[in-house]
Amino acid sequence: MRSFVRVLLGIALVFAGTSHLTFARKDFQAQVPEFVPLDTDATVLASGVAEIGLGSALLFTGRRRRRLVGNVAAWFFVAVFPGNLSQWVNRRSAFGLDTDTKRIGRLFGQPLLIAASLWSTRGGTRRRS
């Protein structure tokens, strides 16, 4: 089950990162908080590249480095949380999140992504007979 979740998360990150660079750039720009010192589009492009890299690492990194990749992915989800929060606070509609209820609901998904990153990259317990 851990491998399934890790692969699913990796595919989702590669897809999301690709969408940052292509068809969903405008939607992702709605999430960039005002305090980010970079150009909004540059921020979206950079985070897209990071997501593609993290997703690929989740898919292809060997067992010895998976825990490290899971930690980096979890911290990435922590780092982008202010963007989700900014979308809710500023009432910006993107990705079909066009009500406060939908926008705040998304905030509760972020801890699940963090947990999935950590859980899916840890080895299971081995029983000794």
Interval 41-58: pLDDT, tens: 999 999 999 999 999 999
Residue 28's contacts (CB-CB under 8 Å, 6 or more residues apart) are 19, 20, 44, 47, 48, 94
* Residue 76: closest CA among 25, 27, 10: 10
Q: How far is 118 from 116, CA to CA, in rounded Å?
A: 5
Tokens representing residue 101 in the block: 């209820």
Interval 60-106: pLDDT, tens: 999 999 999 999 999 999 999 999 899 899 998 888 888 999 999 98
Distance, C-alpha 114 to centroid of its chain: 8
Q: How confident is the model at residue 31 (pLDDT cuts 50, 70, 90)?
A: confident
